[in-house]
Homo-oligomer: A and B are copies of this chain.
């Protein structure tokens, strides 16, 4: 970790003892001593000042001090006689609408020592985040906030107990979430996120004290909520930009968060263009007949034999299948397309392999797993309507990417790195995503799964005191395209509602491989 500039530092300071000609107070003594290390101002909160004289006495003027990097200097959050202070920790939070992931990091080593994923209890007010905004508008905002805070405190309890440390050892907490989730956490009015003028209450959140939210951690610690650049471009995405490093590179990168909302950033160290638009929930499996989240029993990989149309699949945990998660859905559509089980318009071709199709609720469905092999007693399948939905979502996704590319006058071929983030970004098979025309037809090695980029970015902020400034700079540099109001989006979408696209010259590799014309 050479060269790292931590946001929280523990220093053992041998302070000079008072004497003739040195009548400085303990406070001044400590401030001067830290001033040797820091060019920024040093602040000593009242609580620290109160305990300092006794600490100096007990430690014989050798003191451990914990300094947290604030808005404009270092806050000395804790002092203790030298050698008596346990470790210093930080917690990064990926505040997702479905799951909230917590990372406990040892701030001295920079290592993440524990992670924990908890279900977001706000889901009871709506799986769809818009339902939660409506709930907030009906007086539920404080409930949503309390649920978020309680969840964080639950995680603090669990992580610190398992690690055998005290909650007071957590001095810094960073939160990356989408704009709405951050508004819930801070009890900020989210109502205009989803209606005119489609703006959040806050873009940039100032540093918070734990008491302002009621978070269990060191009371003199700080909480940082990553900023957003709009209603549909939140701190989770900014965390991804930070985690990818694309904002510092000469080469051009595209970062895509695949989900109900498609969020895209394009750029390099000189410029950044961002856009977000509704791709629909189909890509996440949400609204499909047999869609499910990526949990035990979810099919995550699918292969279809082009010869006998037999289906091979893998499930999470290796248990009998219960449904299809996002990555499997993309695999499935691509494989069906390759095998000719669906035509370029998305129409199912049941005659091609009658043994794999059946009518369910009066429409054709392709069966991935029969009822006798699933974990639910019901078959796992995809219907004609599902596929229509899916094509609309993948088409919207591609169109958003294309609009962004066109807005800066480049082509997909100019992109050196194509980062795929989001809940299942790491699990998407890029070749299959290209085959269905969801992602552009660029060289496969261009694609890089970013993993949980929101969490990674939040951890980066936790460890690097320059990251907040970098995020501010990113926010200032980003040009945000309002997708919802761009006429060319609707025009372009039409062509993208085919597999892979009406304009096959955009997908030469797919056309060549599948012999399309």
| A25/B189 in contact, CB under 8 A | no
> B46 and A208: CB pair below 8 A?
yes
A52 touching B197 by the CB < 8 A rule? no
| Cβ of A38 to closest chain B Cβ, rounded Å | 14
Number of interface residues of A (CB under 8 A): 46
Verify A72–B41 contact, CB threshold 8 A.
Answer: yes
A19 partner residues in chain B, CB cutoff 8 A: 197
CA distance A231 to B26 in the complex (A): 12
Taking the nearest CB of chain B, how far is it from the CB of A210, in angstroms?
12
Q: Is the CB of B202 within 8 A of A27?
A: yes
Within 8 A of B (CB), among A5-30: 18-21, 23-28
Copies of chain A in the complex:
2
Q: How far is the CA of A53 from the CA of B198 in the complex (A)?
A: 12
**Complex alpha-carbon distance, A206 and B50, angstroms:** 13
A205 to B28, CA, bound (A): 10
Q: A71–B53 Cα gap in the complex (Å)?
A: 24
Residue of B nearest to A475 (CB): B28
Asked if A129 is at the interface (CB within 8 A of a chain B CB), the reply is no
A261 at the interface (CB under 8 A from B): no
Given contacts A50-B188, A53-B192, A187-B50, contact A24 B72 (CB under 8 A): no
If the complex has contacts A186-B46, A197-B18, A212-B46, are A203 and B71 also in contact, measured as CB distance less than 8 A?
no
- A73 within 8 A of partner (CB): yes
Q: Which of A45-67 contact B (CB under 8 A)?
A: 45-46, 49-50, 52-54
In the complex, what residues of B have CB within 8 A of residue A27's CB?
A: 201-204
**Closest 7 pairs (CB-CB, A-B):** A72-B72, A27-B202, A18-B197, A28-B203, A25-B203, A25-B200, A53-B201
Q: Kindly list 6 other residue pairs between chains A and B, CB separation below 8 angstroms, not including A26-B202, A53-B192, A72-B73.
A: A20-B485, A24-B203, A27-B204, A46-B188, A49-B186, A50-B201
